[in-house]
Structure 1
Amino acid sequence: MRRCCGKRRGRQDRRRSAGASAARRHGLPLARTAATEDAKRIADSPAEAGLTVLSTLGVMEALRALAPRFEQETGLRIAADFAPTQSLLGRMAAGETADLAILTETAIEALMARGLLLPGSRVDLARSFVGIAVRAGAPRPDIGSAAAVTRTLLAARSIAYSRAGASGIFFADLIRRLGIEAAVNAKAVIIPEGLTGALVARGEAELAVQQVSELMAVPGIDILGRLPAEIAGITTFSGGVLAGARQPEAARALLAFLAAPAHRATFAEGGLEPAF
């Protein structure tokens, strides 16, 4: 699970190679040695926050950038946990509660159908694209076509992806469709959750596959780009107010704030395509 602290000011650094400096400037924790511990909380603890959020890793950078503005304008503190959608769904099924959930649209639709979200509270926030990254300064293989992606994956010594995340679920199906499932999985570094780019930055894998927005959160890697349109993996991230929210109006206010037209650029800078 990924958490971060909420008292951050100043402008986010847009360059992945300067990610560590950006983290220090905003008071954010740096990546730890384990891929599953690469993100922390926007507030120090849920009890100290006025608004609790369970969020996919995909919108982490945008939420980190916008949270201080919302806190300043409203006086509310935000406690956000970031993890793959499937992990968050499991935690909610086990009884964990929050005010707001930001997940894949499929998960939000499922929660809404089960009556676990307040009617009419869904807001589509962003579309995300799966990409590939290498260690900073490493040769940049071609991923401009499906054939090029296939060659690059087969030539790589190792490939990191997350089985629990939306990108990992997509990638597992993609390599099956490309007919290279066995070859890729024989050298894959599959993590349960977390940022695959962290493994590449540490030299533990040659390629990282994940949402571009999640790759952008990792210093020390170079992003090759999105997968080509013919095999692109596109995920829409949506938010919804949980039926058991302690702060439902504050949760609605945060969703409206995030989806304000003035914040489209912030989502774009985080590697996302605004959906509002």
Structure 2
Amino acid sequence: MTSLNILSGGAAQGLVAAIAPAFTAETGFDIAGQFGAVGAMADKLRGGLPADIVILTAALVARLADEGLVSRNSKTDVGLVETALAVRDGDPPVNAIDAASLRDALLASDAIFVPDTKVSTAGIHVAKVLAQLGIAEQVEHRLSVFPNGGTAMRHLAESDARRPIGCTQSTEIISTRGVSLSGSLPPGCELATMYTAAVTTRASAALQAERLIALLTSPDAQETRRRAGFVAA
């Protein structure tokens, strides 16, 4: 079977998986490629890795369009994704209603599972929030940092820590077995990121890439997007 090659933020992996059967049935293409930290995915495209479609943050897709790496006319917003808190299934939920209660929850945890704090959307934000709360140095030794949010959440699910907590994008929490969404970050610490799809300028399957974008963003897929953790702008 011919493949459509994708480079995508991990935030969209669950949604793409949900849409994939309909896409394959219609086009005869399966979906191959990579999901991970958005900065790393953009660098792979810049480095020449073959890809037909990207799903990255809106700001990053705009930069790739400026660099001539994606088609500006093909850019289509998929939806907003919130950065949120996660706990292991069965653990008490974390109720962070404000910055003070978030600070207390993070200080009370003995392991904090997060994606890459340099190149992932959620990881960069977590680092900013820890600094904003004034606890970056206090919790530095408790941070368990992984290449992307999905990997971080899988390790949270398997953690034997006494009171672990995770922070990444809600879509990655929802799509990972063994962890539960425990609420968004509180006002003043929140982050909602728009994800955008676009066809690359070197696409070998541009028509199929356009069709996948149409399926991902169609009104008929609204409930699928909601279940995956995307919200409308």
Letter of the structure 2 residue corresponding to residue 171 of structure 1: V
- Counting aligned pairs with the same residue, the percent is 28
Partner of 1:189: 144
Alignment pair present for 1:127 and 2:114: no
Are 1:108 and 2:66 matched, yes or no? no
Once residues 103 and 60 of structure 1 are traced to their aligned partners in structure 2, the CA distance between those partners, rounded to angstroms, is 11
1:263 aligns with 2:216: no
Taking structure 1 as the reference length, the TM-score comes to 0.78
Structure with the higher strand share, 1 or 2? 2
Residue 22 of structure 1 is matched in structure 2 by none
User: How far apart, in 2, do the equivalents of 1:174 and 1:64 lie?
Assistant: 31
Give the Cα–Cα distance (whole angstroms) in 2 for the partners of residues 122 and 204 of structure 1: 43
- The answer (yes or no) to whether the contact 1:131–1:226 under 8 Å persists in 2 is yes
Q: How many residue pairs were aligned?
A: 228
Structure in which a larger fraction of residues adopt helix:
2
1:55 to 1:158, Cα distance in 2 relative to 1, 3 A: same
Contact map agreement 2:94 2:183 (CA 8 A) in 1: no
Helix, strand or coil at the partner of 2:74? coil
Secondary structure of the corresponding residue to residue 91 of structure 1: helix
Report what 1:75 is aligned to.
Answer: 28
Match of 2:107 in 1: 154
CA contact under 8 A between 1:99 and 1:251: conserved in structure 2?
yes
Residue number among 131, 147, 151 corresponding to 1:176 in the alignment: 131
Unmatched tracts of structure 1, length 5 or more: 1-47
Q: Which residues of structure 2 form unaligned runs of 5+? A: none
2:19 corresponds, among 42, 62, 66, to 66
* Aligned CA-pair RMSD: 1.5
Cα offset, 1:78, TM superposition: 2.2
Decide which of 92, 102, 114 is 1:139's aligned counterpart: 92
Asked if 1:199 is matched to 2:155, the reply is yes
Aligned position for 1:87:
40
Q: Structure 2 length as normaliser, TM-score?
A: 0.92
Change in 2 beyond 3 A, CA 1:94/1:224: same
Query: Higher RCO, 1 or 2 (CA under 8 Å, sep at least 6)?
Result: 2
Check conservation: 1:195, 1:214, Cα contact below 8 A. Answer: no
User: How far did 1:204 drift?
Assistant: 4.9
Q: Does 1:99 align with 2:57?
A: no
